Homo-oligomer: A and B are copies of this chain.
Amino acid sequence: MLLAQSSWMEVEDYLKHSDSIVIPIGSIEQHGPNGLLGTDAICPEVIAHKAATLTQMLVGPTFSVGCAQHHLAFAGTITLRPSTMIASILDWTASLQRHGFERIYWLNGHGGNVATVNAAFAESYAQRSFSGEQQATELLHKLQNWWQFESVATLCKQLYPVGDGQHATASEVSVTYAAYPEAQKQVTMEPKIAPTGTITHADDYRRQFPDGRIGSDPSQSSEQDGKQIIQTAAEAVAADFERFAKS
C-alpha cells in the first residue's frame, strides 16, 4: 500500500491494525559514468514498493534528497546540509506521530545518509528524553540499508565477485536498470575498476575519483541482475518489517 496513492481514509483504516510505516530515503547524487543521479532514491523506493506487494505494509513518500555534499563537484548532485536534513526528518516524524504512527522504518539507499539520519533519530528521541513525564506512546525509528541484508549481500557478491565496489556499485546500478530500463547507458569504464579512498569535501572527492565511482565496475550491471536483487531485497524488507512492526 503506497501512501501517495492512497486516500486519507485508506490510511486511517490501515492505522486501525498497524502503527508502522516504511519511508524510503535516498540521495540525488552522481553515480559514475553509467549510473543514474537518482540511484540512491530509486533503489529503496523500488524495493519498498515491491515489498509492499509481499506483506501488509504502508510505504510513505520517498525522502529523495539527502547528504551528498561530497558529490557536488559532479553536475546534477543535490544535497541538504545535515542540519537541514535533521530538521526535515523531525517534521516528517512529527507529522507521522500526529496520525498515530509509532514505528518508522527508514529504508536507506545511501551510506552518506547514515550519520545524519542517526543524529536525527537522537534529536527526535531527545525531545522526549529531556521530559521526565510518562508518555502514552513509544516512537521507534529504525534505519536499514537495503544492501546490508545478508541475503542481498550474498547475492551481490555472487553476481559481482569482483568490482561491485563502494560507490556507483554494480548492484545498485542494476537495480535502477531494472526500474528504468530505458535509462540504461553504455559507457566504457576507464580504469575498469575505480580507485578507492576516503571521503571529505567535493573538490577532494573529484580529485581522487575523477569519474565518480569508488572501487566499482558498474559496466557489469544489467536489468536482469537488478530484477533478482529487487526480489531478494524486497523479501528481506518484508520479513524485517514484520518483525519491526511487532516489536
Interface residues of A (CB under 8 A from B): 3-12, 15, 28, 30-38, 41-42, 60-62, 64-65, 67, 69-70, 72-84, 86-88, 90-92, 94-96, 98-100, 112, 114-123, 125-126, 128-132, 135, 138-141, 180, 182-183, 185, 187, 200-204, 212
Which of A65, A77, A78 has the most chain B CB atoms closer than 10 A to its own CB? A78
- Given the known A-B contacts A76-B6, A86-B119, A122-B115, are A91 and B81 also in contact in the complex, defined by CB atoms under 8 Å? yes
Distance from A3 Cβ to chain B, minimum over Cβ atoms (Å): 5
- Given the known A-B contacts A11-B76, A28-B4, A65-B92, are A81 and B126 also in contact in the complex, defined by CB atoms under 8 Å? yes
A109 to B122, alpha carbons, bound, how many Å? 18
A12 to B77, alpha carbons, bound, how many Å? 11
Please indicate the chain B residues that have their CB under 8 angstroms from the CB of A132 in the complex. Answer: 73, 98
Cβ contact within 8 Å between B84 and A84: yes
Please indicate the chain B residues that have their CB under 8 angstroms from the CB of A87 in the complex. Answer: 81, 83-84, 87
Distance from A30 Cβ to chain B, minimum over Cβ atoms (Å): 4
Cβ contact within 8 Å between B129 and A119: no
Please indicate the chain B residues that have their CB under 8 angstroms from the CB of A141 in the complex. Answer: 200
A185 to B9, alpha carbons, bound, how many Å? 11
